[in-house]
Amino acid sequence: MKEFTFSYPTKVYFGEGAAKRALRAELGKVGKIVMLAYGGGSVKKNGVYDELLQLLTEAGKEVVDFSGIMPNPTYAKVQEGAKLVKERNVDFILAVGGGSVIDCCKVVSAQATLEEDIWDMEYKSGKFPTTGIAMGAVVTASGTGAEMNPGAVITYEDKMWKGPIVGTYASFAVLDPTYTLSLPMKQVISGAFDTLSHCMETYLGSPRDFNTSDEINEAVMRSTIRNIRKLLVDEKDMDARSELMWTSAMAENGILKIGKVTDFQAHQIEHQLAAYTDCNHGQGLAAIHPVLYRHMAPEGAKQFARLAREVWNVDETDKSEEEIALAGVDALEAFIKEIGLPTTLSEMGITDEGILRSVADTCNLTAGCCKKFERDEIFEILKESK
């Protein structure tokens, strides 16, 4: 096993009414001025904002609003938030939303305690923040698992780059599945597919011999697939929503990555696709995965075949390991179609080959756990995904 250090800085409050339990337990530990950060307004329509405002007021907090955090959050928005934190002497940030709001706040938190620009610090000096304004995360859209890790994905518009920035861990996370009831079904499913992608990109890393992380991962993948199907039969199935909210956190809280080097090539491509087109994260991943995995599977046949067997239950009769591996990719593609997500980029309105070339030329190339790609092959994959 690869060596590791494991600790858990984020306390999770899960279930209906979790916000009340969390804020009543946690707010006494933080200062008076709280920044309430959210997106384009869904939290005002579904009552979550009012509920949290009441809890903050009861606790005697002074509230500073930070609104308008967009999907695919921008670096400019991060800087706006950090400026507001400094101007208003904010003691605590409560991020309320999906991955975009939580990611933006993780970086706002770190930037607000730094003199230097966080992008320059991380990308030019290779240093990472060690301080930040304390924060908590209230999840209203699950899938990214952003609430339990310090990593954020931010779009730097001037640089045409969407990439990782390390920010701050939330000290606590509220996961109340009832908060997801107002989320459009397409976004619920896109988020759940993002979870599945995180699992697969971790599973397909190395090492690939039997190991505890991969066996837990198989269970998380099976649960994600089963509960997406359950939810598509009954949108109000709270058990399925609960399971999906927890598999989302499990996929990105580090447990599945213990002892592994992850792959995440699909994510690197999708992030640059979003930099150029502002596309939806889960849907972009869905469109990229089948072709990318057909290019990868022959070189990682053993692990792809295990995925096919353990997660997709493919019929192995008379098949070689590579054929089993590819049958698993067929099953993945059929599942994406079944759940109504795109399996081609054209379904998302992305057809411009100039854009696809730019994505291929600028995306990160990972160490290549199954296969190390060259840029021309990424371009071919994107064209085949059209």
Residues near ligand NZQ, by CB under 6 A? 39-43, 46, 71-72, 97-101, 103, 140-141, 143-146, 149, 151-153, 179-180, 182-183, 187, 191, 194, 252, 267, 281-282
Q: Answer for the pair 291, 381: CB distance below 8 angstroms, yes or no.
A: yes
Residue 370 site contact among Zn ion, ligand NZQ, none (CB < 5 to 8 Å, cut-off depends on kind)? none
Measured between alpha carbons, how far is residue 127 from residues 132, 368, 383 in Å?
14, 24, 37
Extract the runs of DSSP E, i.e. beta strands, from the chain.
11-14, 33-37, 62-66, 92-97, 134-139, 151-156, 161-166, 172-175
Asked if residue 147 binds Zn ion (CB under 5 A), the reply is no
Q: Match 């295990």 to its residue by tokens.
A: 306
Pairing status of strand 62-66 against strand 151-156: unpaired
Closest distance to ligand NZQ from the beta carbon of 77 (Å): 11
Token digits for 18? 């979790």
Closest distance to ligand NZQ from the beta carbon of 210 (Å): 26
Pairing status of strand 11-14 against strand 172-175: parallel
Closest distance to ligand NZQ from the beta carbon of 149 (Å): 5
Residue 148 site contact among ligand NZQ, Zn ion, none (CB < 5 to 8 Å, cut-off depends on kind)? none
Q: Match 């697939």 to its residue by tokens.
A: 225
Closest distance to ligand NZQ from the beta carbon of 283 (Å): 10
Residue 153 site contact among ligand NZQ, Zn ion, none (CB < 5 to 8 Å, cut-off depends on kind)? ligand NZQ
Name which of 109 and 306 has its Cβ closer to ligand NZQ: 109
Residue 99 site contact among Zn ion, ligand NZQ, none (CB < 5 to 8 Å, cut-off depends on kind)? ligand NZQ
Name which of 18 and 308 has its Cβ closer to ligand NZQ: 18
Name which of 134 and 382 has its Cβ closer to Zn ion: 382
Nearest CA to 345 among 268, 289, 275, 264? 289
Name which of 22 and 342 has its Cβ closer to Zn ion: 342
Query: HSE on the CB side for 88, CA within 13 Å?
Result: 22
Closest distance to ligand NZQ from the beta carbon of 194 (Å): 6
Residue 200 site contact among ligand NZQ, Zn ion, none (CB < 5 to 8 Å, cut-off depends on kind)? none
Name which of 49 and 264 has its Cβ closer to Zn ion: 264
Closest distance to ligand NZQ from the beta carbon of 325 (Å): 24
Token digits for 260? 């592994």
Nearest CA to 223 among 203, 190, 250? 250
Q: What angle do CA 381, 256, 264 make, to 5 degrees?
A: 20
Closest distance to ligand NZQ from the beta carbon of 148 (Å): 8
Asked if residue 252 binds Zn ion (CB under 5 A), the reply is no
User: In this structure, what are the phi and psi dihedrals at residue 125, rounded to the nearest 5 degrees?
Assistant: -100, -10
Closest distance to ligand NZQ from the beta carbon of 40 (Å): 3
Nearest CA to 209 among 305, 102, 302? 302
Name which of 198 and 306 has its Cβ closer to Zn ion: 198
Q: Match 């499913």 to its residue by tokens.
A: 189
- Contacts of Zn ion in 188-217 (CB under 5 A): 194
Q: Contact residues for Zn ion (CB under 5 A)?
A: 194
